[in-house]
Amino acid sequence: MSTVAQGGLQSQYSPILPRHFNSQQPPTVRLYPLSNYTFGTKENQPEEDPSVLARLKRLEEHYEQHGMRRTCEGILVCHEHNHPHILMLQIANAFFKLPGDYLQAGDDEIEGFKARLNERLAPVGSQFSGEGVNDEWQIGETLAQWWRPNFETFMYPFIPAHVTRPKECKKLYFIQLPRSKVLSVPKNMKLLAVPLFELYDNTARYGPQLSAIPHLLSRYNFEFVDENGHVVATTPGGGPIDGVKLQTKVLAGGEHQGQNGIKDEDMDG
Amino acid of residue 161: A
> Residue 252: beta bridge partners?
191
Residue 9 has pLDDT above 70, yes or no: no
Average pLDDT, the chain: 86
What distance in Å separates the CA atoms of residue 216 and residue 143, rounded to the nearest whole number?
A: 6
Q: How many CA atoms are closer than 13 Å to the CA of 248, on its beta-carbon side? A: 17
CATH class of domain segment(s) 25-253: alpha beta
Instruction: Please report, rounded to a whole number, the percentage of residues in the chain having pLDDT higher than 70.
Output: 83
Cis peptide before 236 (omega within 30 of 0): yes
Domain boundaries, the chain: 25-253
Residue 181 has pLDDT above 50, yes or no: yes
Q: Judge contact between 264 and 207, C-beta under 8 A.
A: yes
Q: Judge contact between 47 and 40, C-beta under 8 A.
A: no
Amino acid of residue 177: L
pLDDT of residue 206: 96
Ramachandran angles phi, psi of 77, nearest 5°: -120, 135
What distance in Å separates the CA atoms of residue 60 and residue 69, rounded to the nearest whole number?
A: 9
Q: What is the mean pLDDT of residues 233-242?
A: 62
